[in-house]
Structure 1
Amino acid sequence: MTLTHSQQEDPVRKVVVSSIVSLDGHVAGPGGNVMALPMDAFFDEHNLERQRHADTLLLGRTTYLGLKAYWPAIAEDPTRSPAVQLDPTTAELHRETAQRNNSLRKVVVSDTLTQADTDPWTGTTTIVRRADAHDAVRRLKEEPGDDLLVFGSSTLWADLLHAGLVDELHLLVGPVVLGSGLPAYGPGPVPPLHLLDVRRRAGSDNVLLSYAVRTG
């Protein structure tokens, strides 16, 4: 699979980061425990909303393998999802999320992943080595298409953010203080941000903060 895209109406292409973070700026707890964060219905709905605006996922190896291990089965039977088992009314949301995860292009930045690791997503996966990641993302941004969406993959998006390649941050801030764990932004200064939107959802204590990244 090559990094090419079909012609779209909108020539402007953005790199959009979507992540859940704690109040003290962690994307995972000690030992990389992402379940320490409150991934509720608001989290699921926002993820699907961002997918609907994207045609490509930019992912690190760990996030890619986690998504690949989970979502293909959910597309066939949403009741396999623990979230659907808790709330059957979310079945169609999870089915659509799974179908989009299956069909969207995946560009994975990794020095160790091989094509043998990509089944059943081989046909939609491109592997980019870390040394080539910035140039690959710049090329993708110059091509017509929908958003380039980064889910999870905090090491990747922190690197792209510091390199001036991220256009928007959508941070779902959960009401937890983890104290330690995996920091969201990594070392180095973060570019100036401009607040675009603040959203809440009834029944959720999470708050969605959306920012444009000011570069140049």
Structure 2
Amino acid sequence: MRKLIVSNLVSLDGQIAGPNGDLSVMPFDETFSARNAELLREADTLLLGRRTYAAFVDYWPPIADDKTQPEVEREISRLNANARKVVVSEILTRGLGAWADSTEVVHPGKLASRVAELKAERPGRGKKSKNIVTFGSATLVQALLKLGLVDELRLQVGANAVGRGGRPLFDARIPGRLTLVEADVPDESQNIVLTYAIDYEDSEPVG
């Protein structure tokens, strides 16, 4: 069974963006991209909300060939392009951009069944099973948690607070037990990377 991993940069007060979706207030540092590339190397599917997909497809495709960008950014661009993209939206029918050929749109009403299918997929003979990863996508993350579909939370918790008007990652109690798998402070970083496994056995998922 493949894992669904939710990864986000989070402020000390639990926000993933500032007012009006402003990301400039978030605690990015030099380790942020390296951590994301590490996660993407072990994944073959991106599960994204509509707004996050739109931001990604606008930004990432040209980065791969931009020699002014750091190599880690160019690698992320290539990894994103090569991954299967699954976008959850009830209104998106076009505008998939450069990734149209590798992108599937799923209606929110079919989220649970489609994610179950993705997680049950088996790798080809001699191949390693790879993960499904969700970045950003706060509305989608909340739905996935309520449905009991997230296997792991990987949070880069940064050294600042966004304050009022930000966008919270969580809007309700997580219906499962969190177990801390790893806590890591990268060299030369003020952020801490927290990895939690989620066990739903003792809790009924909210559906």
TM-score (norm 2): 0.90
**Runs of 4+ displaced beyond 3 Å:** none
Residue 177 of structure 1, CA deviation: 1.0
- Partners of 2:73 and 2:119 lie apart in 1 by 29
- 1:1-216 equivalence runs, <5 A: 12-79=1-68, 84=69, 91-114=70-93, 116-144=94-122, 145-180=129-164, 181-216=166-201
Q: Is the 8 A contact 1:155 1:186 kept in 2?
A: no
> Which consecutive residues of structure 1, in runs of 5 or more, have no partner in the other structure?
1-11, 85-90
Count, aligned residues: 194
> Which consecutive residues of structure 2, in runs of 5 or more, have no partner in the other structure?
123-128, 202-207
Paired letter, 1:28: A
Per-residue Cα deviation, 1:141-181 (whole angstroms, up to 9, x for no partner): 11124101001111111210121100000000001111221
- Partners of 1:149 and 1:55 lie apart in 2 by 8
Paired letter, 2:19: P
TM-score (norm 1): 0.86
Percent of matched pairs sharing the same residue: 42
CA, structure 1 residues 20+92, in 2 after alignment: closer, same or farther (shift >3 Å)?
Answer: same
* Superposed CA RMSD: 1.2
Residue 186 of structure 1, CA deviation: 1.7
Q: Is the 8 A contact 2:145 2:174 kept in 1?
A: no
- Partners of 1:100 and 1:53 lie apart in 2 by 10
Greater mean alpha carbon deviation, residues 206-215 or residues 141-150 = 141-150
Q: Secondary structure at the match of 1:121?
A: helix
Higher-helix-fraction structure: 1
Q: Secondary structure at the match of 1:155?
A: helix
Paired letter, 1:166: V
